[in-house]
Copies of this chain bind each other. A is one copy, B any other.
Amino acid sequence: MMAASLNSTPENNMLKLDNQLCFPLYAVSRMLTKAYQPYLLALDLTYPQYLVFLLLWEQESLTVKQIGEKLLLDSGTLTPLLKRMEQKQWVSRQRDPHDERSVVIGLLPAGRALQAQACQIPEQILTKLHMSPTEFTALRTQLNQLLSQLT
């Protein structure tokens, strides 16, 4: 009886903002990006550019395609973003001689130098979140599971 009434009216609870999962995800994502802002601004970085650096600091050289696969971004987003990073002399962009279709993004000295300044950012963000390491890991795990469902 009650189960049937869950969707019996157009104005059912499912459409209330407070009952959505999508909204807090959307909002937390943007607010967390904003929390990074002051630290990234000091390095003249945007948030997606910071994510590209997280990859390049682990592996100095990646193709646009590899970056796109890891960050789930396509060339329409990455090409202009990487061109801006190239203008700032942070990365190099050159065709792979073995496969001219690919563009290899390489970390330049100025880009490598940013790592030393960025390495304290995660801890400072973590402080803002007021989360225990347990909560942090649990939430990350849940989100990663959800991510694998959605990709």
Interface on A for B, CB 8 Å cutoff?
7, 10-12, 14-17, 19-36, 47, 51, 54-55, 57-58, 70-72, 115-116, 118-120, 122-123, 125, 128-131, 135-136, 138-140, 142-144, 146-147, 149-151
Contact = CB atoms under 8 A, between A and B. Distances in A.
A27 to B, nearest CB: 5
Name A's interface SS: helix
Contacts of A24: 140, 143-144, 146-147
A120 B119 CA distance: 45
A115 B26 contact: no
A70 B142 contact: no
B28 A147 contact: yes
A150 B15 contact: no
